[in-house]
Amino acid sequence: MGRAIPKDKDTLPCDITPELYEHICLKFWSKVNRQAPNGCWEWTGIRNSYTDLKYAYGHFEFRNQGWIASRFAWLLIYDKIPKNKLVLHKCDNPPCVNPAHLFLGTNKDNSQDAKRKGRLGRNRRTGITPVP
């Protein structure tokens, strides 16, 4: 069988000691470029992407599980993500993990945000934007 699929990735594992936490933080932030001129802290490690790698989310491996780097950054600081909430980007830059650029929202917030920022296109056949 493949690796176990985590039931819940809304919190950091509860057995993390302060020493381990420090170690994880060092490992995590060593993969981040905090010098970008736009104020974004961009992930320099592996990225997840279905389309354009330049705009893909960071991928962080921890205990053989893959985490979205921006979610992991949120967890490092705030410990948990409320149920059904997503970690979204104010800066609209998926590889960014700057905590000051992240906020919590719902799926609906995400698509409204995407629409406002012109990220959602129109359906090619109908010409209609898929989210009202």
Q: Does 96 bind Zn ion (CB under 5 A)?
A: yes
Q: Among residues 117 and 122, whose Cβ is nearest to Zn ion?
A: 117
In the complex, what is the shortest distance from the CB of residue 91 to Zn ion, in angstroms, rounded to a whole number? 3
Q: CB-side exposure of 112: number of CA atoms within 13 Å?
A: 5
Q: Does 70 bind Zn ion (CB under 5 A)?
A: no
With contacts defined by CB under 5 A, name the span among 8-16, 20-28, 63-71, 95-103 that binds Zn ion: 95-103
For 68, the enclosing helix (H) or strand (E) is: strand 65-68
Residue 97: C-alpha distances to residues 9, 56, 121, 122, 124 (Å): 17, 12, 25, 29, 33
Q: CB-side exposure of 96: number of CA atoms within 13 Å?
A: 21
Q: Does 36 bind Zn ion (CB under 5 A)?
A: no
Contact with Zn ion (CB under 5 A): which of 81, 86, 91, 120?
A: 91
Detail the DSSP E strand segments found in 70-114. 86-89, 102-105
Q: Does 93 bind Zn ion (CB under 5 A)?
A: yes
Q: Among residues 47 and 101, whose Cβ is nearest to Zn ion?
A: 101
By CB under 5 A, name the binding residues for Zn ion.
40, 91, 93, 96, 98, 101
